[in-house]
Structure 1
Amino acid sequence: MIDFHTHILPAIDDGSRSVEESLAIFKQQHQEGVQALVATPHFYPDDQLEAFLQRRDLAAEQFEQALQAEGLLGQVKLKKGAEVLLSVDTWKIENLEALCITGTKYILLEMPYSKWSDWIYTSVQNIIDNHKLIPVIAHVERYDTVMEDPNQLLRFIEMGALLQMNTYSLQKKSSKYKLAHKLLKHHMIHILGSDVHRAKGLMPIKEGYRLIEMQHGGQMVANMLQIGESLYKGEAVTCERPTPLKKRFGIWF
């Protein structure tokens, strides 16, 4: 199992606050059967790319040294990436591919939480056209626009983007629970991520897949795991064709 969305690197963003907390998160991930994870610290529109990369590499080096000291280095594969907050000008960043998951053309993009305008789709398309990258849209179930109209996600899928969901949204206690499972039912989710920020409260990837299997069957889990393995290796992926949701009496189904 692979966790594609984590804030495990120490003291670089609003995630892990220390090397010790990063180690605690790592140990939980390992115990829960995670075989690989991607460190995706936040990259914001006003960040300078080279300065961010230096901070990220330093945090990763400190983390790996701590893992080595604990005898844990290599027990879970670690790749670097970023959670890139989309702006109108994101596609204009030179060397944008440096923010991709290591060794791949896949880049994790966070959408604005305000109502989406056409520039959102134009900016994502420009990233594809000008950098030849494959966007992975982060935690799609969390955006107001998706809650109002889940079919807005079809535009990203038609571009060739992949969609990521957070594991905790799959729980009944989550406010996103119903939407999350509707998106899965309509084949609009491709990979899972924990989006872990703290050692306390981590919902493991394994638990997410268990909940998916309970409601949607083992074949969906198998398909998602295969997509994840291919993505992690930087290979092309094959996905189920999504189906639009319908709305009746104000409810999407």
Structure 2
Amino acid sequence: MFSFFSKKYYFVDYLADFTDFHNHILPGIDDGSPDVETSLELLERFEKYGIKNFVHTPHIMNDYYPNTPETIGNALKKLQDSQPKEVKNHAAAEYMMDQSLLDKLDNEELLKISGNFALVEMSFLQPPINLNEILFTLQNHGNVLMLAHPERYGFFHKNDLSKYNDLKRRNCYFQLNMLSLSDHYGKSIQKMAYKLLENQMIDFISSDTHRMQHLDKLETIQLKKKHIDFLEPVIERSKALFN
């Protein structure tokens, strides 16, 4: 997609050999792909970008998506039984930080993306009242926390970057959603995405793909040269998680 004459920098041109480690492609267990056929279509589209390695991260939310390692493993097997052999699929989860997550810790280790990295998220309405306690407890159980899409938490936008700085001081890593580089989630989220990038606060990036329309939008993202300079180290760190 890159054209020298038009000087357009398309984001997807920088994703060859990338491992997408935050997505909702496993069939039928959360708000992502509803069935194996859709999952296979999504994997095929990713292959156009040079992406053949995946860590799937279905939601684990106590009331809405009460997934377990068993339900996730079953969905992964269903996909693997149908997929091309050259595609590599593994599974972890995206955990909602709430009391039910803390209740699991005594009996269940969190599914990890890579090494000790666990992918966690918050409600988009408000942070947990006991957020600091949750972070401390999760980390005390040996989890390295990767906060999904920090740019999407509008309640952190009001105080410049102070809330983000506090999370960084608490040893949280930040994972940017690729679509936040566009206005897909709204202009304010796009603005915060670039602000976090320019302040070098973003550690990793992944797609958070739920459906084909997300990949349609992903293909339209064009970047300014200055943003490529900020993004390339983030992309390389993301790749290095799986080297």
TM-score range, shorter chain: 0.7 to 0.9
* Deviations 1:168-216 (CA, angstroms, capped at 9, x unpaired): 11114642211110110111111112111112331587876x63x6332
TM-score, scaled to structure 2: 0.81
Residue 216, structure 1, aligned to residue 238, structure 2: no
Residue pair 2:203, 2:234 contacting (<8 A) in 1 also: yes
* Deviations 1:128-150 (CA, angstroms, capped at 9, x unpaired): 01x11101101111112222233
Greater helix fraction, Structure 1 or Structure 2:
1
Decide which of 174, 196, 201 is 1:183's aligned counterpart: 196
Match of residue 18 from structure 1: 35
Match of residue 51 from structure 2: 34
Measure how far apart 1:28 and its partner are: 0.7
* Deviations 1:210-249 (CA, angstroms, capped at 9, x unpaired): 63x633243x33321332133335xxxxxxxxxxxxxxxx
Decide which of 211, 224, 231 is 1:198's aligned counterpart: 211
1:206 and 1:97 mapped to 2: Cα distance? 36
Unmatched runs of 5 consecutive residues or more in structure 1? 234-253
Q: Summarize the alignment of residues 224-235 of structure 1 with structure 2, pairs less than 5 Å apart.
A: 224-232=234-242
Residue pair 1:115, 1:145 contacting (<8 A) in 2 also: yes
Match of residue 147 from structure 1: 157
Decide which of 91, 116, 121 is 1:80's aligned counterpart: 91
Cα gap change, 1:48 to 1:28, in 2 (>3 Å) = closer
Match of residue 12 from structure 2: none
1:223 and 1:97 mapped to 2: Cα distance? 30
1:38 and 1:121 mapped to 2: Cα distance? 27
The residue type paired with residue 62 of structure 1 is K
The residue type paired with residue 162 of structure 1 is Y
Cα gap change, 1:109 to 1:217, in 2 (>3 Å) = same
Q: Percent identity?
A: 26
Unmatched runs of 5 consecutive residues or more in structure 2? 1-17
Measure how far apart 1:58 and its partner are: 0.9
2:219 and 2:173 mapped to 1: Cα distance? 20
Residue pair 1:85, 1:111 contacting (<8 A) in 2 also: yes
TM-score, scaled to structure 1: 0.78
1:160 and 1:194 mapped to 2: Cα distance? 23
1:206 and 1:48 mapped to 2: Cα distance? 29
Match of residue 118 from structure 2: 107
- Aligned residues between the structures: 222
Residue 116, structure 1, aligned to residue 127, structure 2: yes
